[in-house]
Amino acid sequence: MISEQLEKIREEAIRQISQSEGLDKLNEIRVSVLGKKGELTGILKSMKDVAPEDRPKVGQLVNETREAIEKVLEETKAKMEAAARDAKLKAEVIDVTLPAKKNKVGHNHPNNVALEELERIFIGMGYEVAEGPEVERDYYNFEALNIPADHPAKDEQDTFYISGDILLRTQTSSTQVHEMEKGKLPIKMIAPGRVFRADEVDATHSPSFHQVEGLVIDKDVTFADLKGTLAEFAKQLFGPDTKTKFRPHHFPFTEPSAEMDVSCFKCGGKGCRFCKGEGWIEILGCGMVHPHVLEMSGIDPNEYTGFAFGVGLERIALLKYEIDDMRLLYENDIRFLNQF
């Protein structure tokens, strides 16, 4: 009897399904029972032996059996998939209560903190930030700045020569020449950068340090502009009560030249250990750009005048953050840097 055969196929299939482990096995069962060459299909093929009036009934039975087996197959498959998902999630469990590892992060260098402050101040006064090469020709570092080959100032700045007239710049003043040569006037720029001198390392010297150069060239620029600008700069950098004092000095590329002192921001000018009892602290060199320097770079000194200044960046950082040894700035010890 076909109905008994069908019943047997169904029971056997369900038994196999209940014992199967894994989706592959399940698929094998599906093929062997419901596939083209499967048992159930075999029964359909033998329909020709069934009496025509019984065929609809048998057909319906076969369909019911197929549906019953398919239903169990689907349910089992869904269970297996759910179990696999659970297992995967379990394996991926993270213990969020575990203490975290702390990442070590770096810290802004006092030089950079000071530079950002300087740039902020001058950009606020309408200056642009320029840059020049660290490897220079003698011409840009010396000659075009009114320091001819036999000038004694050349001795003061022990120069690292690379070859012939190629050298490591001893001062950012060389960027003044590059900016003037561009031929675009007026100029109002600062140029921060690294400079090099054959100096022994000690608490106040290093063979490589940083300067910030300033240059303003326009019609009718006077020494009063220089004084006003730098006095305002000192107030913004060291506090609104800061006084400034200009002492005559000599630089080959400026005439007249001066050094600027600020009133000691520790004692307010009374004199203390910080300012070595002076009440004043020297912070930069400056002056009116020498007419000969303007001329050499193609600017007519009868039409244009200008002022320039040069600040030691390390010096500002040491003063502002009260660091007493320049070597600390180059060791990059994070315990030191973290304090700024």
Q: Which is nearer to ligand DAH, 251 or 304 (CB)?
A: 251
Q: How far is the CB of 157 from ligand DAH (least distance, A)?
A: 7
Q: How far is the CB of 226 from ligand DAH (least distance, A)?
A: 9
Q: Which is nearer to ligand DAH, 69 or 195 (CB)?
A: 195
Q: Which of residues 147-176 bind ligand DAH (CB under 6 A)?
A: 171, 173
Regarding 209 and contact with ligand DAH (CB under 6 A), the answer is no
From start to end of the chain, where are the E strands?
128-129, 135-137, 161-163, 166-168, 187-196, 208-218, 244-251, 254-263, 280-289, 305-312
CA distance 249 to 255: 9
Q: Which is nearer to ligand DAH, 16 or 204 (CB)?
A: 204
For 203, the 3-state DSSP assignment is: coil
> Would you say 93 and 57 are in contact if contact means Cβ atoms under 8 Å apart?
no
Regarding 213 and contact with ligand DAH (CB under 6 A), the answer is yes
Q: Which is nearer to ligand DAH, 38 or 132 (CB)?
A: 132
CA distance 135 to 52: 104
Q: How far is the CB of 118 from ligand DAH (least distance, A)?
A: 14
User: CB neighbours of 116 closer than 8 A, spacing ≥ 6?
Assistant: none
Residues in contact with ligand DAH, shown as a per-residue x/- string from 252 to 281 under the rule CB under 6 A: --x---------------------------
The DSSP secondary-structure symbol of 100 reads P
Q: Which of residues 295-324 bind ligand DAH (CB under 6 A)?
A: 308-310
Near ligand DAH by CB under 6 A, which window of 27-35, 86-94, 120-128, 282-290? Answer: 282-290
Among 286, 294, 317, 319, binds ligand DAH (CB under 6 A): 286
Ramachandran angles phi, psi of 221, nearest 5° = -80, 130
Among 192, 193, 252, 285, binds ligand DAH (CB under 6 A): 285
Q: Which is nearer to ligand DAH, 65 or 122 (CB)?
A: 122
Q: How far is the CB of 308 from ligand DAH (least distance, A)?
A: 3
What per-residue string of b and e applies to 130-153 under the rule 16 or more CB within 10 Å gives b? Answer: bebeeebbbebbbbbbbbeeeeeb
Distances (CA, A) of 9 to 20, 71, 117, 130, 219: 16, 15, 87, 89, 107
Q: Which of 293, 292, 268, 288 is nearest to 278 (CA)?
A: 268
Q: How far is the CB of 230 from ligand DAH (least distance, A)?
A: 10
Side-chain-side CA neighbours of residue 174 (13 Å): 24
Region label for 287, one of left (φ > 0), alpha (ψ between -120 and 50) or beta (otherwise): left
Regarding 142 and contact with ligand DAH (CB under 6 A), the answer is no
Q: Which is nearer to ligand DAH, 20 or 170 (CB)?
A: 170
Q: How many residues at the interface with ligand DAH, by CB under 6 A? A: 11
Q: How far is the CB of 340 from ligand DAH (least distance, A)?
A: 25
- Name residue 136's beta-bridge partners: 167
> Would you say 259 and 249 are in contact if contact means Cβ atoms under 8 Å apart?
yes
Q: How far is the CB of 238 from ligand DAH (least distance, A)?
A: 19
Residues in contact with ligand DAH, shown as a per-residue x/- string from 37 to 56 under the rule CB under 6 A: --------------------
> Would you say 9 and 39 are in contact if contact means Cβ atoms under 8 Å apart?
yes
CA distance 118 to 172: 15
Q: Which is nearer to ligand DAH, 20 or 211 (CB)?
A: 211
Q: Which is nearer to ligand DAH, 193 or 310 (CB)?
A: 310
Residues forming contacts to ligand DAH in the complex (CB under 6 A) are: 171, 173, 213, 251, 254, 285-287, 308-310
